[in-house]
Copies of this chain bind each other. A is one copy, B any other.
């Protein structure tokens, strides 16, 4: 039932938000019973036994109660990205960041499946989920832009890779949710992200055994000054 992102294991009694969890529980009970649009905020607060005003204190909109933990997960992702150094392959880093999301889904499989069924058939919730996914994607793209800075078409590469990572992640995640959360969600996402890493990563991961050597292209127009050649060479090598 509980869906809070904060852990609560010891004897302490719901240290964080008792009323917030009550609202989420009441909302999902009613959403599953009579549908999302047939449930008003007044119904939710009546079942939860709190005032209507308190609902909007904890959730800016009615849709937010369906995604109570994404805000925290997004914060975790930005923390993860800002904490990861410049050493590893950036594509691998954003793939790891995406794994944070599927891990959150896998923490509450039943809850995630219910929410998936809800968002699948309510257009308003689908639109809201899109905006949430968009924020994840922008976080990944922002990180990649800094890592790709200096390369040619850096923002384009960043956006495309971020979109591919999100698409692969969501493909595997939705497939897992459609199967009623049977099997290993993280493994499915790993497999999907493997394709993206193979296509965009510095090192083509799955076809192992090959050399991780990169490619260098030098194009020199006749009469082009030497510094121009050096510049292109540096650009191709990824130097700043």
CB closest chain-B residue, reference A201: B225
CA distance A226 to B33 in the complex (A): 53
Q: Does A117 contact B (CB under 8 A)?
A: no
* Residues of chain B with a CB closer than 8 A to A164's CB: 160, 163-164, 167
* A215 adjacent to B220 (CB under 8 Å): yes
* A219 adjacent to B221 (CB under 8 Å): no
Q: Does A233 contact B (CB under 8 A)?
A: yes
Cβ contact of A215, chosen from B203, B207, B219, cutoff 8 A: B219
* Residues of chain B with a CB closer than 8 A to A162's CB: 167
* A168 adjacent to B156 (CB under 8 Å): yes
User: When each residue 145-162 of chain A gets 1 if its CB lies under 8 Å from chain B and 0 otherwise, what string results?
Assistant: 000000011011101101
Of the A-B pairs whose beta carbons lie under 8 Å apart in the complex, a sample of 8, sorted by A's number, is A153-B240, A160-B196, A162-B167, A207-B223, A210-B223, A212-B223, A214-B222, A215-B229
A residues 103-150 in Cβ contact with B at 8 Å: 126-128, 130-131, 134
